[in-house]
Chains A and B, each alone.
Chain A
Amino acid sequence: DIQMTQSPSTLSASVGDRVTITCRASQNINRWLAWYQQKPGKAPKLLIYKASSLESGVPSRFSGSGSGTEFTLTISSLQPDDFATYYCQQSNSYSTFGQGTKVEIK
């Protein structure tokens, strides 16, 4: 099974900060990597697919990069609506999620 490890688990940041979250796969997943945002009591929302493709309607301050085993999600200028938990997901072999990164107000 492919394991996905996100870091950090929690991130404290301020509005306007540049934020980067890392996701590492236990084996090569090429670019079969997606990122989601989840707010309390809500379903996850797709942000990025195929490592760097921005989902329609998602603000351009979100970007993704990486391939193979190491990937990043970057929020270029954190907005109040961005305080949430973020998950990566691999789809190279079935599906596995990272454990999540909570972005909280500093």
Chain B
Amino acid sequence: EVQLVESGGGLVQPGGSLRLSCAASGFSVSDNYMSWVRQAPGKGLEWVSIIYNSGTTYYADSVTGRFTISRDNFKNTIYLQMNSLRAEDTAVYYCARVAGSGCYGAWGQGTLVTVSS
């Protein structure tokens, strides 16, 4: 069974850092494209970042230069390192497996990041 479990969210001050983790089971993250998608409270979904099976990464303009996506093949886990956090980064962060058509067929339960002083 495919499962994604996020962790690492919490309360952080503006300008601070946080690292989110997404532990996968039932498949290998190294063989798949994996993404992070976020949802601010009461708002819609926003794509944040993607890592290809090749290791190539891409980011939304809103997080470029501040966020870094990575993976650990041995732990079958992907990460999102978030630096220079802003109030507008407050959101539930979901990791998702990207299917061949570019859609998200599997999602984690999400982890809440709150940026506030």
Listed in ascending order, the chain A residues whose CB lies under 8 Å from chain B are 1, 32, 34, 36, 38, 43-46, 49-50, 53, 55, 87, 89, 91-92, 94-100
Contact = CB atoms under 8 A, between A and B. Distances in A.
A43 B50 contact: no
A3 to B, nearest CB: 13
Contacts of A55: 105
Interface residues of B, number: 21
21 contacts: A1-B61, A32-B101, A34-B102, A43-B107, A43-B109, A43-B110, A44-B94, A45-B107, A46-B105, A49-B99, A49-B101, A50-B103, A89-B45, A89-B103, A89-B104, A94-B50, A95-B47, A95-B50, A97-B44, A97-B46, A100-B45
B35 to A, nearest CB: 7
Contacts, number: 58
A32 B94 CA distance: 21
Contact of B101 (A45, A91, A97, A98): A91
A46 B103 contact: yes
B102 A91 contact: yes
Contacts of B27: none
